Amino acid sequence: MITQFQLSQVSEFAELFFTLEEISILTHIDIEELRREVNFGNSLLNKAYWQGKMAGQIALRKQFKDWAQKGSPAAEQQLMEWLAKQNESE
């Protein structure tokens, strides 16, 4: 059984872009269970992982936006790629 503490750890570590293997080791959750839940599950474990991962991506994209506003061509290019993907998904 996955504890609330493990769920919060999964979210925290996913936000920091740890691999599933690393998260498994750090949280003492079986790697096969973690992989299955992340890829196919509809559970609190699945939700914790994806919310953490998305929170990390939000922080990263905000940083890229800040860099782009300060004139970074690489950051501007990355934002344009994300915008194109967003437009494609609409």
The domains of the chain are located at 4-89
Q: Where are the alpha helices (DSSP H) in the chain?
A: 4-15, 20-27, 31-40, 44-69, 73-89
pLDDT along the chain (90 residues), means of 10: 97 98 98 96 96 98 97 97 96
Q: Looking at residue 14, what is its pLDDT?
A: 98
Q: Looking at residue 86, what is its pLDDT?
A: 96
Q: Which of 62, 70, 53 is nearest to 14 (CA)?
A: 53
Q: Looking at residue 77, what is its pLDDT?
A: 97
Q: Phi, psi at residue 42, to the nearest 5°? A: -135, 70
